[in-house]
Structure 1
Amino acid sequence: MFKFSIVAKPDLISKKCEEEVKSTLIANSWIYDENDPYYVIVIGGDGTILRAIHRYLDKIESIRLLGIHTGTLGFFTEYNCEDVNEALETLINKRYILEYRRMLEADVLTKDGKHMFYAINEMRLENIMRTQVIEVAIDGEHLETIRANGVCVSTPSGSTAYNKSLGGAVICPGIEVMQLCEVAGIHHNRYHSLGSPLIASDQQTFTFTSSDFRDISLVFDHVVANVDDVIQVDTRLSTRKVPFLRKKGFSFAQRLRNSFIND
């Protein structure tokens, strides 16, 4: 007897799938508990997965996430809505594999003190109002001065998300690294930075500072942090991990083909 909750995309297909999942599990003596679940079944796309992770962030290591795809992109989700019976059978009989994905963590120093934030995909510093000048350091040593709309630091999980649209590399899960990309960088004979993605180990820290972070947006996955007067942001791979339930025999190559190539 297990406790479970459901986070579903608010559309008719997802809601219908939600009703089927809920009724089936309750018929098998499972308990629906939104406050303290062991299993969290996510019905939707990758955006719904992100919403579920941040909803249960305070207890993320003690839950198990299973994704059922009804959205536009299902890189995190394991089953399609047509496979809901297979997904439930796998869940009830525990015929799954656990896969842990590491999160990013960021120490954000402001005039009010330090604030900690987490992301499974990426952390972004972005300024949509003007060109943002950002000083970048690795482990306290200055690397470069970036002039751009901002920067994006992603995990291997996030390498197929916003990072990919910036020209970053797709990184296989299990490789414990993070990746830094510029967002709309400016490069000419006066201003020039590395201008390519930079991959750092899980032992390293990126530090971002600026003489003027005015109008900056600090974004963790889909969540815009409510902080003002940012002084410094230190970003690294966290020891916190998100546990996903995976289908046996479903490879990373299959996941890439299904999501991006569709051949």
Structure 2
Amino acid sequence: MKPTVLIYSNTKPQSQSIKTELTNKLNKHQIEIVDEREQPDFIISIGGDGTFLSAFHHFEQYIEHSRFVGIHTGHLGFYTDWLSDEVDAVVDGLLNASDQSVSYPLLNVEIYLEDGRCKKMLALNEFSIRSTMGTMVSDVYIKDHFFETFRGDGISISTPTGSTGLNKSLGGAVIHPRLDAIQMTEMASINNRVYRTLSSPIIIPSDEWFTLKPENTQSAILSVDNQSWLNYEVSKVTCQVAKQRIHFASFKHTHFWDRVENAFIGRKQSL
């Protein structure tokens, strides 16, 4: 039985051209293309990592049952395995795909507002909160135990795949996605004789969680991956490894450390 496919693309001319080419070749092989109202076997993202993140959030309801395929037309394709000239290979992979997949952990984010509402989301990369005016102050709890009071610019909590993004720029560790863990890193924490934090990245397992209880969040920016909100009055935020995972098609999937090397080091020149 042939798979069903959902295509998600950005609006750039190159991506739209690839989408048209892919659509024609899928139709030629009688592979059904469905719209977003129907759960597909594969979700194909065409663009860069920003497009992939948008596809992840747009089709979050399908992540436990659909496998993702990324075709790269952007500047840095950390989640995209295929190049724009490999459309034929993508189609062949779909035709011969097994039921196997490669899965990565996600971050469950629950944002509790002062008015009693709770905003629940999944993050592929990270959750972050940062002040736009002055110092941000937040109590930090680990598994409901008070750990420290943070003062500084902000806090990031990332997944293993997200550990290569904002987390890495803040001095956090790069974590292999086979580990079900999340990591908290501080943004410009204040440490002196009066105020102290651990001032180091903290990595916790899936059966523990971070709770942040920030003061006065009216001037704070809250972000989940590439989505941001301002002027939320937040009472607390909890972050834990999610029960759900994202699944990638296994007919071509770049090894995690190869992704890291390609993104940050580059292939070594032979002497």
TM-score normalised to structure 2 length: 0.91
Instruction: Give how far 1:227 is off.
Output: 7.4
Confirm or deny that 1:178 pairs with 2:179: no
Residue 63 of structure 1: how far off its partner (Å): 1.3
Amino acid at match of 1:123: F
Residues 40-72 of structure 1 deviation map (CA, whole Å, 9 limit, x = unaligned): 111111111100000001222121110111111
- Give the aligned partner of residue 58 of structure 1: 61
Alignment of 1:204-223 (within 5 A): 204-223=208-227
Give the direction of change, closer, same or farther, for the CA distance of 1:226–1:32 in structure 2 (3 Å limit).
farther
Letter of the aligned partner of 2:54 in structure 1? R
User: Which runs of 4 or more aligned residues in structure 1 lie more than 6 Å from their structure 2 counterparts after TM superposition?
Assistant: none
CA RMSD between the two structures: 1.8
Equivalence for 1:11: 12
Secondary structure of the corresponding residue to residue 141 of structure 2: strand
1:188-220 Cα shifts (integer Å, max 9, x gaps) = 333221111110011101010033222222211
Q: Cα–Cα, structure 1 residues 137 and 203, in superposed 2: closer, same or farther, change >3 Å?
A: same
Whole-angstrom distance in 1 between the partners of 2:62 and 2:100: 20
Deviation per residue, 1:143-194 (Å, 9 max, x gap): 1111111110000010111111111111111111000001222223332211
- Separation in 2 of the partners of 1:57 and 1:249? 21
Aligned 8 A contact 1:78 1:247 in 2: no
Quote the sequence identity (%): 31
Cα displacement (A) at 1:95: 5.9
User: Does 1:125 find its partner at 2:129?
Assistant: yes
1:251 maps onto 2:251 in alignment: no
Residue 66 (structure 2) pairs with residue 72 (structure 1): no
Matched, 1:135 2:136: no
Report the CA distance shift for 1:106/1:250 in structure 2 as closer, same or farther (over 3 A): closer
SS at match of 1:214: helix
In structure 2, the CA distance between the partners of 1:227 and 1:104, relative to structure 1 (3 Å rule), is: farther
Q: Which residue of 2 aligns with 1:112?
A: 116
Equivalent in the alignment of 2:236 = 232
| Worse-superposed segment, 85-94 or 229-238 | 85-94
- List gaps (5 residues or longer) in structure 2: none
User: Residue 196 of structure 2: which of 183, 192, 198 is its match?
Assistant: 192
In structure 1, the residue corresponding to 2:64 is in which secondary structure? helix
Total equivalences in the alignment:
263
SS at match of 1:82: coil
CA distance in 1, matches of 2:100, 2:176: 17
Deviation of 1:19 after TM superposition, in Å, equals 1.1
Q: Secondary structure of 2:76's match? A: coil
Query: How does the TM-score come out when normalised to structure 1?
Result: 0.93
